[in-house]
């Protein structure tokens, strides 16, 4: 009898934990469709007449629309350039640089240890002196540190997993290094590379500190969202909830891909990485 009760208890606990994991997100999504008077109630309301007003407010607000455009531009450019420079470098590190590759990889990884403030503060002064403060280009340049290093860090193991035999066979056929990379390694490693791309995208899409310090006037979406609370005296909770939902949607879209990335990392590299 006792084991049965224990097992039921364990399942209940698990159910509760899944609820704890998801409830905050669901509650916010619910709040995004509420009118303010449905939010400001002593007893939380589960049933109410839904409204799209909050989303209309957001999409009608020029600051938020500009934030969305800025975010898309900055993220597309920095992730794009990061992939363009990082992926070939990762391939070379995985294939042609057996000896010095480790040192370079450690250098790349050590950039992730750098506190973001230590990057932000000198660049504020430098950008002010150069007159490119508050520009999207300046922000993209600084984001390259994150995107290139993350791409190299995640793409190198992806290329190491490409079976060397296929590459050698192609080289025997007379393909140059560039052709081997473009025709063989890139397509074979593509699924893992896509995961790396998505991870980099999420990192930059979510970034606040550098965007806040280097381009406060050309704000990206996280900066706009962070400043909504200080609009006026009455806190527009419905609008905040709706803004949160808009901010959350693109990364959540990739949840399946992240799962795939974890699976492939653990299956192939669990032991050596560990």
Partner 1 sequence: MTRQRFILLTLAPALTVLGLLAAVSTAGAVWFSLMNRVLGSPDYEFVGLYNYLRLLRDKRFFNALEISLIWELITVAGTLVVAVLLAVLVHETVKRALWRNLICFAFLAPVLLPRVAAAFIWRFLYSPSLGLLNWIVGEAGLGPVEFLANPSLALVSVAVVDIWQWGLFFTVILVKLLETMPRDPIEAAMLDNARTWQIHAYVTLPMLKGPLISLALVKAVESLRSFDLIFVMTGGGPGTATETLDLYAYQSGINLGGRVSYASAMSILLLIVTTVAFTLIWRASRKWSR
C-alpha 204/C-alpha 198 separation (Å) is 10
Compute the least distance from the CB of residue 115 to partner 1, in Å: 5
Between residues 121 and 169, which has the closer beta carbon with respect to partner 1? 121
Sequence-distant (6+) residues with CB within 8 A of 20 are: none
Residue 76 binds to partner 1 (criterion: CB under 8 A): no
C-alpha 219/C-alpha 225 separation (Å) is 10
Terminal C-alpha separation, the chain: 40
Between residues 39 and 184, which has the closer beta carbon with respect to partner 1? 39
Compute the least distance from the CB of residue 252 to partner 1, in Å: 6
Residue choice 58, 70, 74, 88 for contact with partner 1 (CB under 8 A): 88
Compute the least distance from the CB of residue 15 to partner 1, in Å: 10
Compute the least distance from the CB of residue 222 to partner 1, in Å: 4
Question: Taking CB under 8 A as the criterion, which residues in 29-58 touch partner 1?
Answer: 31, 39-44
Residue 113 binds to partner 1 (criterion: CB under 8 A): yes
Question: Taking CB under 8 A as the criterion, which residues in 236-265 touch partner 1?
Answer: 237, 240-241, 243-244, 247-248, 251-252, 254-256, 258-259, 262-263
Going from the C-alpha of 234 to that of each of 63, 130, 221, 228, 229, the distances in angstroms are 19, 40, 22, 11, 9
Going from the C-alpha of 259 to that of each of 133, 195, 231, the distances in angstroms are 38, 9, 38
Residue choice 13, 52, 190, 231 for contact with partner 1 (CB under 8 A): 13
DSSP 8-class letter at 130: H
């Amino acid at each position: 009898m006792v084991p049965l009760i224990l097992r039921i208890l364990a399942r209940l606990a698990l159910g509760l934990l899944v609820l704890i994991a998801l409830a905050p997100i669901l509650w916010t999504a619910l709040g995004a469709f509420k009118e303010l008077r449905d939010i400001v109630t002593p007893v939380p309301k589960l049933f109410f007449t839904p409204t799209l007003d909050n989303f209309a407010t957001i999409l009608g607000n020029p600051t938020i629309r500009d934030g969305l455009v800025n975010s898309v531009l900055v993220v597309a450019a920095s992730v794009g350039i990061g992939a363009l420079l990082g992926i070939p470098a990762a391939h070379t590190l995985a294939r042609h640089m057996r000896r010095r590759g480790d040192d370079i990889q450690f250098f790349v990884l050590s950039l992730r240890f750098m506190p973001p403030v230590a990057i932000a503060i000198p660049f504020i002064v430098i950008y002010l002196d150069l007159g490119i403060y508050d520009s999207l280009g300046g922000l993209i340049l600084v984001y390259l540190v994150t995107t290139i290093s993350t791409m190299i860090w995640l793409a190198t193991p992806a290329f190491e997993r490409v079976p060397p035999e296929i590459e050698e066979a192609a080289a025997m056929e007379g393909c140059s290094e560039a052709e081997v990379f473009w025709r063989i390694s890139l397509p074979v490693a593509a699924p893992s590379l896509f995961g790396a791309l998505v991870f980099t995208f999420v990192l930059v899409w979510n970034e606040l500190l550098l965007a806040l310090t280097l381009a406060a006037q050309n704000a990206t979406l996280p900066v706009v969202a962070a400043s909504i609370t200080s609009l006026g005296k009455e806190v527009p909770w419905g609008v905040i909830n709706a803004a949160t939902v808009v901010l959350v949607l693109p990364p959540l879209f990739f949840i399946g891909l992240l799962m795939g990335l974890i699976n492939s990392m653990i299956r192939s590299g669990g032991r050596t990485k560990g």
